[in-house]
Amino acid sequence: MATTVISSHRVLLADGEFHAARLEIAHGHIRSISPLGRHESPTTDLTLVPGFIDLQVNGIGDVDVWSTARASDAVAWGRINNLLLDQGVTSWCPTLVTAPLEWYSSAISFLSQQKPDTYLPHVIGVHLEGPYLGTAFGAHRAQYVREPDLQWLTNVADNIALMTLGAEVIGAPEACALLASRGCVISVGHSRPTRQQFNACVQAGVSLVTHLFNAMSGVHHRDPGLATWALTDDRVYASLIADGVHVDPEVIALAFAAKPRQIVLVTDAVAWRAGSAGKVQLALRDGVPRLEDGTLAGSSVTMPEALKICVGQANVSVAQAVMAASAHPANVMGLADRGRLQGGYVANIVGLTDDLEVSAVWMSGQRVR
C-alpha cells in the first residue's frame, strides 16, 4: 500500500494536546500515528491541526451562497470553495438565510446536487437559518419569518443538514421532532423563548444554539435567557462568532470557561464585498457588515482570524480554539470521520504558522495549498 508521511514537532492529536508526531496516510485517510523519532527530521515546521469545519457560511468576499444557488452558478460555487480552502476550511455548511418560501426548493436542489470533490471542501449539507425564526430577527427580513410548515419541512428535510429555528414559535417542538426523525441537526437561534419552550425543543432533538449572545435573550442575574441556558445546559453546543465585535473578547473567554468542550466557532461570513446576503443589502462599517440602520448582518471574519482573536485577545489556548473549529462542530454534526487527527479519519490537515496564519492545507492527504 502506497503511503505518505506528514510530520511535525507540533501536531494537535485527538487528546487535545500537541505532540511531536508522524502521520502515515494511505487512501486519503490517516492510517497510523506514531511519535516522531528523536533524530527524525519533520516534513514541516508548521503546526499541524485538523481541517476547520464551518457550520455557518452565507458567503465570502464577493460570492453569496443564496445568489449562487438561485442562479445555479457553477463558477461562483467553485470560487467560494476555493476561498474556503485558502482559510483552512475543509468542511462546511452553505447557509441560506430567511427568504420567501418559494425560493428554497431550487436553491436547496442546486446545493445538494453538487458532486463531491476529494480536493475541495466537503459539503456537510445545507444549513437553513430561517424562515422559522423567533422574535429576535436580527438582520433577517421580518416579513418572511413564519411559523413552521410541517409538510414543507417533510419535503425538504432529506436535503437539510442543519436548521436554525426559534423555540418560541408555534409548532417548534413538532418541527424539531420531525427534523430529528429525518437526521437533521437542530439549533435554536434568533429566539427569546421561555425556559419551558427551550426545554421542549431540546427534548424534541435540539443540540445546538446559533451564534451565542447574538439575536437571543441573554445573561441577566434576575432574568436568565437563551444565552444563559446555552452556557449551562450540557445537552447543547453553542456556536460563537469570534470576531471581537459580535462578542467581546472578555465574553468569548467567559463562553470557553463555561463550555470548554462545547463551543463551536462559526464565521457567519457574508458576501460583504458584494453588498448583500441574498436580498439583504449590507455594507462594511467599522470592519463589520451592517444593515443601513447599523444592525449587524453576518461577519467578514475568517476562521484563522477567529482563532487569533480567541488566542490573542480572549486568552483561550491554541488547542482549545482549534478544537472549537474542528472537533466540536464535527461532534455536533455527527461526523465520525473528520475533525480530529486520529487513525482512520480523513486526512484533512491545516498547517499553521506560529502566528496562526494558514500556510498549508491537505485534503485527503494531498496538499492543495
Catalytic pick from 15, 54, 268, 293? Answer: 268
**67 and 44 belong to one structural domain:** no
Q: Are residues 91 and 177 in the same domain?
A: yes
**In degrees, to the nearest 5, what angle opens at C-alpha 152 toward C-alphas 148 and 155?**
140
What is the arithmetic mean of pLDDT over 57-66?
A: 94
Query: How many CB atoms sit inside 10 A of residue 199's CB?
Result: 17
Grid cell 511535525 in the structure block, residue: 8
Confidence label for 294 from pLDDT (cuts 50, 70 and 90)? confident
Confirm whether 73 is a catalytic residue.
Answer: no
Residues 119, 186: one domain? yes
Residue 281 has pLDDT above 70, yes or no: yes
What is the Cα–Cα distance from 193 to 209, expressed in whole angstroms? 12
Nearest CA among 365, 369, 364, 367 for reference residue 116: 364
277 φ/ψ angles, rounded to the nearest 5 degrees:
-130, 105
Q: How many domains is the chain partitioned into structurally?
A: 2
Q: Are residues 291 and 150 in the same domain?
A: yes
Q: In the chain, pLDDT over 90 holds for what percent of residues? A: 88
212 and 158 fall within a common domain? yes
Residues in the chain: 369
| Same structural domain, 88 and 8 | no
Cell of 276: 448583500
pLDDT at position 279, please? 66
Beta strands 122-123 and 63-64, pairing class: unpaired
Same domain, 152 and 231: yes
Distance CA 6, CA 355 (A): 21
pLDDT of residue 139: 86
Are 255 and 357 found together in one domain?
no
Supply the pLDDT for residue 229. Answer: 98
Here the CATH number for the domain that contains residue 22 is 2.30.40.10
Domain assignment present for residue 349? The answer is yes
d(CA 104, CA 350): 33
Same domain, 184 and 207: yes
- Domain with 352, as residue range(s), is 4-49+343-367
Q: How many CB atoms lie within 10 A of CB 303?
A: 28
Mean pLDDT of the chain: 95
Average pLDDT over residues 167-177: 98
What pLDDT score does 291 carry? Answer: 85
Query: Where are the strands (E) in 98-235, listed by range?
Result: 122-123, 126-129, 160-165, 185-188, 206-209
Question: Which residue in 162, 253, 151 sits closest to 209, CA to CA?
Answer: 162
Mean pLDDT for 357-361 is 98
* 338 part of a folded domain: no
Q: 9 Cβ partners below 8 Å, 6+ apart?
A: 20, 36, 42, 45
Among 301, 327, 347, 363, residue whose Cα is nearest residue 15:
327
What SS3 class is residue 37?
Answer: coil
Share of the chain above pLDDT 70, in %: 98
Q: Is this model's pTM higher than 0.85 or not?
A: yes
pLDDT tens, position by position, 199-236: 999 999 999 999 999 999 999 999 999 999 999 999 99
Residue 104 lies in a domain: yes
Judge whether residue 311 has pLDDT over 80. Answer: yes
* Residue 277 pLDDT: 67
Does 247 lie in the same domain as 141? Answer: yes
